[in-house]
Chain A
Amino acid sequence: MKAQKFFSEVRSNFTDILYSGMILNSEIKLDKIDPNLDADDHEALVMRLYFLASNPEKEILHLINQYEEEKYLYMMKVSKDVWIFILSRNKSFAKFHFYVKFLLVESKLEYSPEEEIRLPEKEESEKIASAKRIQDMILPDLNETLSKFRLHEFFYQPQDVIGGDWYWIKNEIDETWIVIGDCTGHSVEGALASISIISILNQVYNKDLSPHMLIKYLYKSLEDIQKQQIEKGYGIGCELIVMKFNHKINEMIYSGTGLPLYYLSKGKLKFNPTRKAILNTQKILRYLRSRKIRMKQGDAIFTHSDGLADQFGTNGKKFNKRTLMSILSDQDSPTLSGIIEAFKNHKGNEPQTDDIVSLFLKI
């Protein structure tokens, strides 16, 4: 039986009801019947009681709470993790109780939590798809922006449809700026964080800055914006790498917090880790510097967010940086496609551990 069907049945049969609702796996689905009632006032109480009542150590079948003289909150356990509740001005719940039983059992409208759970997921997936379209609009077109490189390969795969990993590219006359970032959180939380960071990045960006100064300005602005949130114990965190390519002289200047840089030149691999700013932002920022690499034609760089190296495989182990390094150094002409193929073989059917963004560039 679908939640909406249940709500409409309740609406048409019980005139004293102010609102009715369901709790499915800790998610409240509310049908506000009385337009004058602020259901939010009661939601906290409903959730509080639900969490107590759904405690496996308790064996509660239903409970009634009377308050504000004429308000009666009735909660009824339908199955594990599924509760129905109503707020009514009528204290007699017997009719409602038997009616719900009839709906769920006698009428053979068997309640299927799985079916119900799919409902919000469908709605949610539509919202996520819309969010993805917005995130896609913010992320640049790679073919267009990286056309000055001899080869560019990119792998972007959020753990969910959207995520906290992101990339930002800016082309100047002879230069290309590339920023790859990994924000805390996944899915909607991560996507919102990444959009916030990209927005700040657009504000602080100046083509004359060095990469480490761009990072400093970015972190400083972020810190100013979320000062109050940080005091409350939460805020946006982000690791990133900023690369500034000068195509005229084949020079790359980079700086980063957390994301590594692999540099391949004439078959030799150099691994340049960057310090994780999340551990001690102030200290890292104080000592943060830009590094310069004079590249030759055919040289390549590779970077990735930690989702790639941290992916657990069917063997229970992480893909890890050592595997990445051996692929890059063992192959004559390594490519990102080759790395991703090895990654997928390692991952098998294991769930994706984290968002992943990875870039391989050849000049």
Chain B
Amino acid sequence: MKSSFEVLLNQFLSSFSNALAVSFNSVEISISIEGGSDVEILRAYKDIPMLSIDENFTTSFSFIIIESGSIIVFFIDGVHFISVYTQDKEPNKELAERMYYKFYEKFKNEIANL
């Protein structure tokens, strides 16, 4: 049975147009949750958002543009992050922001229960 966090993560993935994979990682919690196809790309680039965190934990977004598409990273409280992989060469920043504000509180609540 899927946890409520996995359900939310999949809901996030399906709401994000062109998204192929999603993952949750954190520098504070040792739980990694993945969903969708091409998750290995997110695994391969996991260290980039991990080390994109600034010293004041104020990082909110990272966009990593690679040959095969883009990885959009949403940070929650500067230490937890949700990465989304799309095949878009230019990441849709407006969509990313909309999704961020829509799901921010939900993710924050779920993370508190992990």
**A49 to chain B: which residues have CB within 8 Å?**
48, 51-52
Contact A63/B59 with A45-B54, A52-B47 known, Cβ cut-off 8 Å:
no
Q: Mark B69-88, 1 if CB is under 8 A from A, else 0.
A: 00000000000000000000
Chain A residues 36 to 63 lying within 8 A of chain B, measured CB to CB, are 41, 44-45, 48-49, 52-53, 57-63
The B interface is mostly helix, strand or loop, or mixed, namely: mixed
Please report the C-alpha to C-alpha distance between residue A343 and residue B82 in the assembled complex, in whole angstroms.
Answer: 62
Asked whether, in the complex, the Cβ of B66 is within 8 Å of the Cβ of A65, the reply is no
Let me know if B52 and A65 touch, CB within 8 A. yes
Interface hub of A44, A49, A66, A91 (most chain B Cβ within 10 A): A66
Given A59-B67, A61-B65, answer yes or no on A52-B51 (Cβ-Cβ < 8 Å). Answer: yes
Whether a CB of chain A sits under 8 angstroms from the CB of B109 is no
Cβ A67 vs Cβ B60 within 8 A: yes
Chain B residues with CB under 8 Å of A60's CB are 48, 64-66
A64 within 8 A of B: yes
Complex Cα gap A330–B54 (Å): 67
Determine the chain B residues whose CB is within 8 A of the CB of A41 once the complex forms: 55
In the complex, what residues of B have CB within 8 A of residue A63's CB?
48, 52, 62-65
Interface of chain B residues 6 through 59 with chain A (CB within 8 A): 44-45, 47-48, 51-52, 54-56, 58-59
How many chain A residues touch B (CB < 8 A): the figure is 21
Q: Do residues A53 and B48 form an inter-chain contact, with CB atoms below 8 A?
A: yes
How far apart are B113's CB and chain A's nearest CB, in angstroms? 26
B107 part of interface (Cβ distance < 8 Å): no
Closest residue of A by beta carbon distance from B50: A52
Asked if A114 is at the interface of the complex by the 8 Å CB criterion, the answer is no
Question: Which of B56, B58, B65, B67 has its CB near the most chain A CB atoms (within 10 A)?
Answer: B65
Which of B44, B45, B51 has the largest number of chain A CB atoms within 10 A?
Answer: B45
B42 to chain A: closest CB distance in Å? Answer: 13
Q: A48-B51, A53-B48, A58-B45 are in contact. Are A65 and B65 (CB under 8 A)?
A: no
Chain B interface, number of residues (Cβ within 8 angstroms): 21
A58 to B58, CA, bound (A): 25
Q: Does B48 contact A52, Cβ atoms closer than 8 Å?
A: yes
CA–CA, A53 and B44, complex, Å? 12
State whether the Cβ of B93 lies closer than 8 Å to any Cβ in chain A. yes
> Do B59 and A91 touch across chains, with their CB atoms under 8 A apart?
no
Q: How far is the CA of A68 from the CA of B59 in the complex (A)?
A: 6
Partner among B44, B51, B56, B61 whose Cβ is within 8 Å of the Cβ of A66? B61
Find chain A residues with CB under 8 A from B68 CB.
59
A-chain residues with CB within 8 Å of residue B64 when the two chains form the complex: 60, 63
Let me know if A66 and B66 touch, CB within 8 A. no
The answer to whether A66 touches B60 (Cβ under 8 A) is yes
Which of A41, A59, A62, A67 has its CB near the most chain B CB atoms (within 10 A)? A67
Residues of A within 8 A of B54 (CB): 45, 65, 67-68
Contact A65 B67 (CB under 8 A): no
Docked Cα-Cα span, A68 to B51, in Å, equals 16
A sample of 15 inter-chain contacts (CB < 8 A) reads A45-B55, A49-B52, A52-B47, A58-B44, A58-B45, A58-B48, A59-B67, A61-B65, A62-B65, A64-B63, A65-B61, A66-B60, A66-B61, A68-B56, A69-B58
Report B's interface with A, CB cutoff 8 A: 44-45, 47-48, 51-52, 54-56, 58-68, 93
Given contacts A41-B55, A49-B48, A49-B52, 12 further A-B contacts (CB under 8 A): A45-B52, A48-B51, A53-B48, A59-B66, A60-B65, A62-B65, A63-B64, A64-B62, A67-B58, A67-B59, A67-B60, A69-B58
